[in-house]
Amino acid sequence: MIPLEHIVVLSVFLLSVGIYGVLTQRNAIRFLISIELILNAANINLIAFNKYLSTPDGLGQVFALLVVGVAAAASVVGLVLIIAIYRLKKSVFTDDFNLLKW
């Protein structure tokens, strides 16, 4: 069996990639993808912990499923918003969203 540590390292790696993406990407779509990576890192954690815990009751897996659903909803809303702003600004680059400041 793969040790828990490996999976946790994977999840941390995914988290790091997600955060890196969030901090560096200017494209809103790429940003969305990075967020998904973070969510999935958490999901991996949840499932793995559920598996390796002494009393597996399926809680983590259920939660992961819920997260997938919620993340989908969030992505939808996000995409809608990005489309809405693309209509107005003809851009999906976050640098251009700077009317509101100071």
Positions touching another protein (CB under 8 A) are 8, 11, 15, 18-19, 22-23, 26, 28, 31-32, 35, 38-39, 41-43, 45-46, 48-50, 53-55, 59-60, 62-63, 66-67, 70, 73-74, 77-78, 81-82, 84-85, 88-89, 94-95, 97-102
Residue pair 15/41 in contact (Cβ under 8 Å)? The answer is yes
Look-up of token digits 């793969």: 2
Q: Which of 54, 49, 20, 25 is nearest to 37 (CA)?
A: 20
**Least CB distance to another protein at residue 6 (A):** 14
**Least CB distance to another protein at residue 86 (A):** 10
**Least CB distance to another protein at residue 18 (A):** 7
Residue pair 21/36 in contact (Cβ under 8 Å)? The answer is no
Q: Which of 52, 48, 20 is nearest to 34 (CA)?
A: 20
